Chain A
Amino acid sequence: MYTIREERVSNKPKDNREGAVTSRRRFLQAGIAGGATLATAAMARAEGDPLITEVQDWNRYLGAGVDETPYGMPSEYEAHVVRRDVPWLTADPVSSVNFTPLHELDGIITPNGLCFERHHGGTAIIDPADHRLMINGLVDTPLVFTMQDLMRFPRENRVYFLECAANSGMEWRGSQLNGCQFTHGMVHCVVYTGVPLKHLLAEAGVKTSGKWVLAEGADASAMTRSIPMEKALDDCLVAFKMNGEALRPEQGYPVRLVVPGWEGNMWVKWLRRLEVGDQPWAQREETSKYTDLLANGKARRHTWVMDVKSVITSPSPQAPITHGRGQTVISGLAWSGYGTIKRVDVSLDGGRNWHEARIDGPSLPKALHRFYYDFNWDGSELLLQSRAIDERGYIQPTKNELRAARGENSIYHNNGIQTWYVQADGVVENVEVS
């Protein structure tokens, strides 16, 4: 992102009072709409709810036949659940990013059409009959595979999160974007079906001097990243399905690399070549980009793993509390590139006191975990935080701890604890706290 001109990410006016007023008005309008709903509900209780006492259209007239939508789409009432972009982040929408609507989702699986996109040369459109995958370099036999060849290797199904290295990168200097879709939505989690990379490498025969694999895409950016052989032989997949169906074009159709737990940039889409070598290649995406500048002017490279992280997805700025005080569900996501999430804690008071949340659903290594904290909201202001702990015992740090260690110009790998300020009217805001 931030690739194109990361330094502009934070060049926004720091005290745009006029804008703040405009934004405030919008939130108030949202609040008024919520109040009207409550009033209608109260009247309904007194006289009998017409939605019950009167026959509704959908109860009288026939619905659509089974051939109406050969490929089904979400309800029209879910039209707001879409990927969003932030135009000022990048110079151009082709080498850019958009964001998964985390605030509207639940469970751990991201619907294919909502998985965030990150391209460097746009979405390549490739007929699978025209696609080839080459293995060359330090191998006994350089090979070319067709998609049909790839479909004949033994397969695996695995659930993994894919997080952009720059997820939350706009927040290094402080609260900037108001919504977890924007602050944390460069992540998705699907079931991948694919061939273990080790099978393809074995087919070509890796020479003993082969210590690194260069993965290359077929798109106009010809994306390349160096991957150590140990990782390539461990759990990488060459995947052609996501959530049971073919990859979406924007996710690398017909085939992409899956690099579990590691930064999304390495998950090369439209994968066309794997080269075996004895040293890393120092490609643009591992020198100019995806290196992490520290306060002392040094920069880390090869920061592959995505650290332990979490975020409360609701309530959040795009998902305010509209039901008033009383029983309230806090819902969120946690993940770690080192394995499973062991525990998630939730704070209501900005990190002074913590309560253990409830992880529900599958707990799979290097996958999203869903957590809940159910509580009785008394209508007072809250400073919500979540803190994940992974199976290795790594505890999600605060943003201030990260800044103390790294400064504010790392761009990537911001896994700091997020704070949401819940106001008495249920409006929620992205804030930083002392």
Chain B
Amino acid sequence: DHDGVFGLGRVATDDEIAAWDIDVRPDGTGLPVGRGTVADGEVLYTDNCAVCHGDFGEAVGRWPVLAGGHDTLTDERPEKTIGSYWPYLSTVYDYVRRAMPFGNARSLSDDDVYAITAYLLYLNDIVDDENFELSNENFAEVRLPNEDNFIPDDRLKEPHYADKKEACMTDCKPGPVEITMRARVLDVTPEGGDDDESV
């Protein structure tokens, strides 16, 4: 039903595209019409999210931490959360709508996702008003703190790549080489199937 190089496939209908094309870009392109408040989000979050992510986004067990970690990105152990690390709020909306709750994806309404996104802003101290309402109209006004800290891939400017020297073949290090760290001392490698040393 279409022209084309090979004449294969058929034209996608508008409903089909709407059903699958749910991605949202940082400029807000793709956002559905809708809205939700922090207060609504707290209820939804408590019912659908807190079992893994904790009541305050602090996480249960090893599930992802969603809030906190501000100013830790240069620490020895950074805490990378929505508030401390993620560049764009669009990613929060998109990902929650696309893939959460884990094990029951696509179960939240568009308004539910706005409300949960608003609550995640609240948990991250990016909004402080429980009556704050996030909608497709004010969405693009919200900026996350770490947006400006992402840079393009510049690996090839690193000295070991930029200086394409001949590889040293002989006497490349002075004196004997010393062992500085041993995985066996750490001992966290799974071994046979009958034990559990994996901590």
Which residues of A approach B to under 8 Å, CB–CB? 4-8, 11-17, 19-20, 22-24, 26, 84-88, 90-92, 94-95, 120-121, 134-137, 141-145, 149, 152-153, 174-179, 182, 199, 202-205, 214, 216, 220-222, 224, 272-273, 275, 277, 279, 281-284, 287-288, 291, 293, 295-305, 307, 317, 345, 349-354, 383, 387, 389, 393-395, 397-398, 401-402, 404-406, 408-409, 413, 421, 429-434
Q: How many angstroms between the C-alpha atoms of A12 and B184 in the bound complex?
A: 12
Query: Which stretch (B32-40, B92-100, B108-116) binds chain A?
Result: B92-100
- Shortest distance between the CB of A50 and any CB in chain B (Å): 30
Given contacts A87-B198, A175-B186, A353-B170, contact A8 B62 (CB under 8 A): yes
B155 touches A300 (CB 8 A): yes
Given contacts A282-B26, A298-B150, A300-B154, contact A144 B95 (CB under 8 A): no
Interface hits, B165-181 → A, CB 8 Å: 165, 167-173, 176-181
- Size category of the B interface is 35 or more
A429 touches B171 (CB 8 A): no
Given contacts A16-B185, A353-B170, contact A297 B73 (CB under 8 A): yes
The answer, among B21, B155, B188, for a CB contact under 8 Å with A136, is: B21
Show 9 A/B contacts (Cβ-Cβ < 8 Å), sorted by A: A5-B62, A19-B186, A19-B197, A23-B184, A177-B189, A288-B82, A352-B171, A405-B158, A413-B155
Determine the chain B residues whose CB is within 8 A of the CB of A13 once the complex forms: 186, 199
- Shortest distance between the CB of A77 and any CB in chain B (Å): 17
The 3 closest A-B pairs by CB, nearest first: A350-B177, A19-B187, A91-B62
Which residues of B approach A to under 8 Å, CB–CB? 2-6, 8-12, 16-17, 20-21, 23-27, 59, 61-65, 73-74, 76-80, 82, 85-88, 90-91, 94-95, 98-99, 102-103, 105, 149-156, 158-161, 164-165, 167-173, 176-191, 197-199
The answer, among A95, A284, A433, for a CB contact under 8 Å with B180, is: A433
Q: With contacts A7-B78, A288-B91, A405-B160 known, what are 9 further pairs, Cβ within 8 A?
A: A13-B199, A16-B187, A121-B99, A141-B11, A143-B11, A352-B176, A406-B158, A408-B76, A431-B180
The answer, among B5, B21, B77, for a CB contact under 8 Å with A202, is: B5
Q: How many angstroms between the C-alpha atoms of A256 and B64 in the bound complex?
A: 27
Taking CB as reference atom, which chain B residue is nearest A24?
A: B184
Determine the chain A residues whose CB is within 8 A of the CB of B61 once the complex forms: 91
Given contacts A91-B63, A142-B11, A176-B186, contact A204 B177 (CB under 8 A): no
A220 touches B105 (CB 8 A): yes
A88 touches B4 (CB 8 A): no
Given contacts A145-B9, A405-B159, contact A353 B172 (CB under 8 A): yes
A15 touches B185 (CB 8 A): yes
A134 touches B177 (CB 8 A): no
Q: How many angstroms between the C-alpha atoms of A405 and B182 in the bound complex?
A: 23
Given contacts A141-B11, A402-B160, contact A20 B178 (CB under 8 A): no
A275 touches B184 (CB 8 A): no
Determine the chain B residues whose CB is within 8 A of the CB of A143 once the complex forms: 2, 4, 9-12
The answer, among B87, B161, B197, for a CB contact under 8 Å with A397, is: B161
Q: How many angstroms between the C-alpha atoms of A81 and B85 in the bound complex?
A: 40
Q: How many angstroms between the C-alpha atoms of A77 and B20 in the bound complex?
A: 47
Given contacts A19-B197, A178-B184, A429-B184, contact A199 B6 (CB under 8 A): yes
Among B86, B159, B189, the one with the most A-chain Cβ atoms within 10 Å of its Cβ is B189
